[in-house]
Structure 1
Amino acid sequence: MNPADIDWARPSPEAFALGHSPGGSDALIEETPVTLVFNDEVALTLMATPLQGEELALGFTLSEGLIERADEIQELHALPTGAGLSVLISLPEARMAPLRARRRFGAAPGGCGLCGIEDQQTLLALPERALTTLALEDGAIARALQALPAHQPLNAATGGAHAAAWCSAAGEILLATEDVSRHCALDKLIGLLARTHQDPAQGFVLMSSRASFELVHKAARVGLPALVAISAPTALALRAAQACGLALYGFAREGRHTRYA
C-alpha cells in the first residue's frame, strides 16, 4: 500500500493512538514513524505509538547517553506529519559530535535504539555509573503486578501495547507509559521521570515484556536500580545486569518471580 493512500488524520489524541480493523469491531494499536531531529539534522526514525512523542524523544536521548541531564535540551517539540510524528530537539553543539558519529540506517524496528550502530564494542558498551541498591518490600512485585492492568488503557483496548511502570519499593505504581514497542515504552517512562523531576533510583521498573539487553542497558544508563519483567531475560541481559549491578527479575507472575541478578 502506498503511504499516500492511508488516512493518517486523527481527530483526538485518543483516536490518534488507535486504528480500526476493516470490519470495525476490533481496535488496533497504531505503529507509525517517529523521527527524531537533532539541531535540524534527522538522526533516526523509531517505529512507535504516536503518543507522548516528546517524552519518547527525551527518554531516548537520556537512555542512549546522548545527554547526561534533561536540562541540557534547549528545545523539545513534537509535530504531527503526514505519516507520523517528528520531534525537534535542540542540543548544545558539543553534544552533536557523538551523535553524528553513530551511523544509523533507516527506521529502527520496534524502537530499537541499538539498531544501526556499526561497531560491536560500541553496541555492547555498558554504562559507567554506580547503581544504588533498592530494597524491595515483601510483596512489592506482586502488588505492582496486580495494579498494572489499571495503567494499561491502550492494551485493554487493543491487546497490542507494552507497558513500563515506575514503582515504589512498596510496589505502588507511580508512573506508567505504553507503546507498541517495549523499548519505546521504557524510553517514554524515562522521559516522563525526567519531566516530572523524579529520581529514578527511588523506584524499580516493571515491564510487561521479556528483559532484553537493551532494556537493561537503558535502565542502568539512567540509574534505575532494578528491572522486573513478566517474561524471561536473555542471557546477554543477565550478564549486563550482573556487570552493572542492576537487580534483574524475570517471570514475574501472580504469586511468583525469579531473581536473576
Structure 2
Amino acid sequence: MNEPWDGAEERGIVEQAVRRHRDGEIEATVDEVGQEWPVALVFNGISHAVMMCTPRELEAFAVGFAISEGIVKRRADIRDIDVAFHRDGATLPYAHVELTIAQEAFGALKERRRALAGRTGCGVCGIESIDLLDLSPERVPATGFMARLAPDAIARAARELPAHQALTRLTGGLHAAAWCDADGAISIAFEDVGRHNALDKLIGRLVLDRVDTTNGFVFLSSRASYELVRKAARVGIPMVATISAPSSLAIAIARQAGIRLVSFCRETSYVEYGGA
C-alpha cells in the first residue's frame, strides 16, 4: 500500500549491515550509506523528469533545477511547491515535487519537453536530437567580483569545505556544492549523491534566499562537467572552482559565458582554464 509521510526522518544516510575484510580478518559491523531515491519533478501536473538524488532539501533542489535548466527565468515564475514522500512495501521509497509555474513558462516547457530520467551522470541523457543540446550559455554580467576576489580565496574554500561535508564524512560517497564569498569563506553547502543535484540544491537555496549570485563563487567537490558550468551561467555565477578535473566542453562553455573556471583546487595550488 502506498503510504505518504512528511519525510522528516530522512537524514540522507542509511545504516547497512556489512562484513568488513581487513588484513585477512572479517568483521561484522554497520556502515553508513548515502541515500539515493527517485524524485519526480512535476510541473503544472505534468511529470517532466525523474531524478535520482538524496532525499533532503528537495524544495531547494526543485527550484534550482527549474531555474538552472531554463524552465523558469526567475523565482517569481514559481507560484507554489509541494513536496510529498511515499513508500510502498513492494518498491523503493520515492518523492514527488509538484511545482505550479507561470503559464508562459509552462507553455514554453511544453514546446521543448524532453524525455529525461536519472540525469546524475552525463547530463544530456534522453534528449531527442543533437539540435536540442543547448551549448549557448548566457553571458555572465561583469560586476567587479573578480577584482574583489582575495588571492587566497580558493585555498580558504578548499580548506573549509570538509567541515561542510557531514554526510561525506559518514559515507565517503556524496558530492558537495558550496557558496563562497570573495574571501573564500563558505556560507552554505549542500551534499547529494549527484553532483548536478548538489549544485541545483545550492542554486535553489540562493534563489529562495534572494542572494546575489553574481557576488560569490561555487566550490564543487567533483569534476567540472559542461552542465555544471552551464547551470552556473544561467544564474550569473562568475567563478566555478572544482576539486577534480574539467572536461573540454566545460572549459569551452566557461569561456563563452565569461566564467572563470579553476580546477584541481587545493590549499596550495589550482589550475586556471580561462573565462573571466
Unaligned runs of 5+ in 1: none
Q: 1:248 aligns with which of 246, 255, 261?
A: 261
Q: Secondary structure at the match of 2:145?
A: coil
Are positions 1:26 and 2:21 aligned together? no
Pair 198,11 (structure 1): closer, same or farther in 2 beyond 3 Å = closer
Tell me which residue corresponds to 1:97.
107
Q: Quote the offset at 1:232 in angstroms.
A: 0.7
Check the 8 A contact 2:141/2:236 in 1, yes or no.
yes
Tell me which residue corresponds to 2:145.
134
Tell me which residue corresponds to 1:76.
81
Tell me which residue corresponds to 1:166.
179
Deviations 1:185-225 (A, max 9, x none): 00000001011110111100000000000000000011101
Are positions 1:200 and 2:195 aligned together? no
Structure 1 residues 1-261: aligned runs within 5 Å = 12-14=9-11, 17-23=12-18, 25-82=30-87, 83-105=93-115, 107-110=117-120, 114-132=124-142, 133-135=144-146, 136-261=149-274
Q: Quote the offset at 1:85 in angstroms.
A: 1.0
Pair 48,90 (structure 1): closer, same or farther in 2 beyond 3 Å = same
What is the identity, as a one-letter code, of the residue corresponding to 1:147?
Answer: E
Check the 8 A contact 2:48/2:116 in 1, yes or no.
no
Structure 1 runs of 4+ aligned residues shifted over 6 Å read 8-11
1-structure distance, mates of 2:76, 2:122: 24
1-structure distance, mates of 2:152, 2:253: 26
Report the TM-score when normalising by structure 1. Answer: 0.91
Q: Quote the offset at 1:52 in angstroms.
A: 0.6
Deviations 1:16-35 (A, max 9, x none): x1122233511000111010
1-structure distance, mates of 2:145, 2:231: 17
Q: Number of paired residues?
A: 253
1-structure distance, mates of 2:256, 2:67: 20
Deviations 1:33-90 (A, max 9, x none): 0100100111110110010111000000000111111121100111102221110100
Higher helix share: 1
Higher strand share: 2
2-structure distance, mates of 1:171, 1:105: 38
Q: Quote the offset at 1:109 in angstroms.
A: 3.5
What is the identity, as a one-letter code, of the residue corresponding to 1:13?
Answer: E
What is the identity, as a one-letter code, of the residue corresponding to 2:217?
Answer: F
Between the two proteins, what is the percent identity of the paired residues? 43
Q: Quote the offset at 1:99 in angstroms.
A: 1.7
